[in-house]
Structure 1
Amino acid sequence: MFLLNQHPDYRKPLDPIDAETLGPKAVDEVERYLTYRDNHTVTPLHALPAIAAELGVGAIHLKDESFRLGLGSFKALGGSYAVIRLVLEEASHQFGRPVDIAELHTSEVRAIAAGMTVACATDGNHGRSVAHGAQLVGARAAIFVHSGVSNERVAAIARFGAQMVRVEGTYDDSVAEAARVAAENGWTVVSDTSWPGYERIPGLVMQGYTAMVREALRQLPEPPTHVFVQAGVGGVAAAVAGHLALVLGERRPTFVVVDPARAACLFETARAGHPVKIEHGEPTVMAMLECYEPSPIAWRVLSRAADAFMTVDEGDAVAMMNRLARPAGNDPAIVAGESGGVGLAGLIRSAADPKIRAALHLDEASRVFVINTEGATDPDRYAELVGIPPDAVLANSACRTEGVHA
């Protein structure tokens, strides 16, 4: 399914709060925080000339977030950043003066962090980031996971010392339960989705993602003409679209939001013109995108900054995992998890459909940017779907190419 943005606010300036959250000054602060992370390195940007030639576009560049901060996902930028910000804000409140990140590991700040518990719901990656952030600052974390989250992903979060809470039902059920229990216990919810009266912390999470966009703009030989980004509740899509709109203005690229067909809450929201909660149906293989209600602040940004919305099917996601693992021509081998290559899958589906191709003005001059949002965050599931373990794909990639492609 494909839909051009028809919202009345389309192409209007971002809400002032969102512009402040996603703008250049905010990214300056995110990047400053990242300099204090021991394992922070810029993630690679890969050119995919073989796929570009096949699709009849000028260039495709893929930002590979599978290497981000050792957590295997772009989510490492959001949850942990928000946790650090919240601890420093609490310390500032208690000390009666501004407390900078340079003081994060002092005994006084860690004593404050030790009295804090952060909580969130997750499909896997956001919870890992929040738990990691809590471990970094010495806070406690309670992470709520729904019944569809694999044991492997639960274990990956628990290794950061988080208390794990299983919730029957969907991701949205786990969001509600995390909020309820946190309110009862006086914990701080660090969610990547928002709801009425709860926007600032999800805004901080989105703010963390903007560092990835700035990195990509520095790495790209030219700004992109088209961007395809996958969406769950919409946080990363909104962060990317919003930042690009703010820094590129009239030169901003055509932006396409890509949903799983089985969890197309943003597509249905765009069709309705307002946030829509869709019915839970058969689970999608795109586990990190299995969300049935969009984040209101993400929709507020996307209603203005996204040009189109579309869906891809189960087979598209699995085929993309395999295609990136076994590349043609000089393309590098890339480990993309079940949700990682969904934006690229959206591009491939769009390029193959003459009507969508024409609507998006995709042609041989197009420069397309996509994001591999996650690596093999569940290695056993990856090996099951691709037929080879992720380590073997990485070994193949090392043989085929070295360094960053641009």
Structure 2
Amino acid sequence: MLLRNTLSDYRSPLDSSDADALGVEAALAVERFLQHREGTAPTPMVSLPAVARRLGVGSIYVKDEGQRLGLGSFKALGGAYAVIQIVLELASQRWGRPVDISEWRSREVATLASGMTVTCATDGNHGRSVAQGAQLVGANCVVFVHAGVSEARCRAIARYGARIERVQGNYDDSVASASKIAAERGWIVVSDTSWLGYERIPHLVMQGYTALLREALGALPKPPTHVFIQAGVGGIAAATAAHFSLVFGNDRPFFTVVEPAQAACLLESARAGQIVQVPHDRPTVMAMLECYEPSLVAWRILTRVADAFMTVEDDEAVAMMKELAFPVDGDPAIVAGESGAVGLAGLAKVAGEPALRAEIGLDSNACVFLINTEGATDPALYEKLVGTRPEHVTG
């Protein structure tokens, strides 16, 4: 299923707050922050010429976030960045002067942070990033996880010193619990989803993602013509669409948002013309994308700069995980988690339908950009789905 964007805001200018948070200047600020973090290195840009030939497009480039900052996901860039920026902003207020990013490891900042508690809800990856940011700056951290989050992912979060709180229900239930308890106890919610009256911190999280986009644009041999990006609440999709629209203007690539068929909150919102919450009666293997209501900020951005919305089934996502793990005709192998290969699954689905190819101009000259948003963040699940352990994937 592919739904073209016909919303009234389509092709309207971005809201000024969104443009400020996700433009080039904001991305440069994130780059400066990363210069002060250990382990910072650009993630690979991988070309897949054999897959491109099979799908009948000119080229496919995948930004592989599977090793980002030791967390194995693009979300390493968002939550940690937001936590440290929040601490620096509070320090600036307390001390009556601007506190620069170069001071974030100081004893004074650590003392201030030690009296703070940050919290969030997570499917796994965002919680690890928030926990890591809290550990780096010396803050306390409590992470709420829902019933579907695996013990392996909980242990990965706890390794950064966070306390784990289990919540019955789904991701949206954990978001509600985190917000309620934080309000009662004076904690700071560092969420990657937004709602009415809560946008500043999600903007910071999304701003962190722009670092990978700057890297990507520097590594691509030419501007992309098409982009397929997966979405849960919509953060990485909206950040990518917004940044590319600000960089390329009217020459921006055709942008398609790809969701699990079982959790297509953005597609159904686009169909309805307003944010809707979709039923959560069927789980999806794409655990990091199992979200049932869009982020307000992401929705506002995507109504203006996304060109189409589509869904893929679990078996289609798993098939692309396997294709990336066991490439043919000389393509390099990529370890993609169950939500990492969803953009490629969307591309493959459209490429196999002549009418859809014609509708979006996907031809033999197309240059397609994708993001492998995560590696094998749950190795046991990866082995179950792909048939081999992630460390055995080579090439």
Scaled to the shorter chain, the TM-score interval is: over 0.9
- CA drift of 1:101 comes to 1.2
Helix, strand or coil for the counterpart of 1:63?
strand
Helix, strand or coil for the counterpart of 1:277?
coil
State the alpha-carbon separation in 2 of the partners of residues 302 and 293 from structure 1: 14
Point out where structure 1 has 5 or more consecutive residues left out of the alignment: 398-406
| Letter of the structure 1 residue corresponding to residue 204 of structure 2 | L
What is the correspondence of 1:167-182 to structure 2 with a 5 Å cutoff? Answer: 167-182=167-182
What is the correspondence of 1:70-219 to structure 2 with a 5 Å cutoff? Answer: 70-219=70-219
Q: CA RMSD in A?
A: 0.5
What is the number of equivalent residue pairs in this alignment? 395
Helix, strand or coil for the counterpart of 2:145?
strand
State the alpha-carbon separation in 1 of the partners of residues 188 and 83 from structure 2: 9
State the alpha-carbon separation in 2 of the partners of residues 87 and 364 from structure 1: 49
- CA drift of 1:273 comes to 1.2
State the alpha-carbon separation in 2 of the partners of residues 278 and 217 from structure 1: 34
| Letter of the structure 2 residue corresponding to residue 284 of structure 1 | T
State the alpha-carbon separation in 2 of the partners of residues 273 and 355 from structure 1: 25
| Letter of the structure 2 residue corresponding to residue 195 of structure 1 | W
What residue number does 2:261 align with? 261
| Letter of the structure 1 residue corresponding to residue 35 of structure 2 | T
Q: Percent identity?
A: 64
| Letter of the structure 1 residue corresponding to residue 259 of structure 2 | D
Helix, strand or coil for the counterpart of 2:281?
coil
Helix, strand or coil for the counterpart of 1:374?
coil
Residues 84-114 of structure 1, C-alpha deviations (whole Å, 9 max, x = no match) = 1000011111111000111111111100010
State the alpha-carbon separation in 2 of the partners of residues 334 and 326 from structure 1: 8
- CA drift of 1:354 comes to 1.4
Structure 2 residue 55 is matched with structure 1 residue 55: yes
State the alpha-carbon separation in 1 of the partners of residues 198 and 207 from structure 2: 15
- CA drift of 1:250 comes to 1.2
| Letter of the structure 2 residue corresponding to residue 269 of structure 1 | S
State the alpha-carbon separation in 2 of the partners of residues 15 and 205 from structure 1: 17
Segments ≥4 residues shifted beyond 4 Å: none
- CA drift of 1:225 comes to 0.2
Helix, strand or coil for the counterpart of 2:66?
helix
What residue number does 1:400 align with? none
State the alpha-carbon separation in 2 of the partners of residues 339 and 77 from structure 1: 17
- CA drift of 1:311 comes to 0.1
Helix, strand or coil for the counterpart of 1:363?
coil
Q: TM-score, normalised by structure 1?
A: 0.97
Q: TM-score, normalised by structure 2?
A: 0.99
| Letter of the structure 2 residue corresponding to residue 82 of structure 1 | A
State the alpha-carbon separation in 1 of the partners of residues 130 and 162 from structure 2: 9
Structure 2 residue 32 is matched with structure 1 residue 32: yes
Residues 228-260 of structure 1, C-alpha deviations (whole Å, 9 max, x = no match) = 000000000000000000011011000000000
What is the correspondence of 1:276-291 to structure 2 with a 5 Å cutoff? Answer: 276-291=276-291
Helix, strand or coil for the counterpart of 1:66?
coil
What residue number does 1:371 align with? 371
What residue number does 2:274 align with? 274
- CA drift of 1:330 comes to 1.5
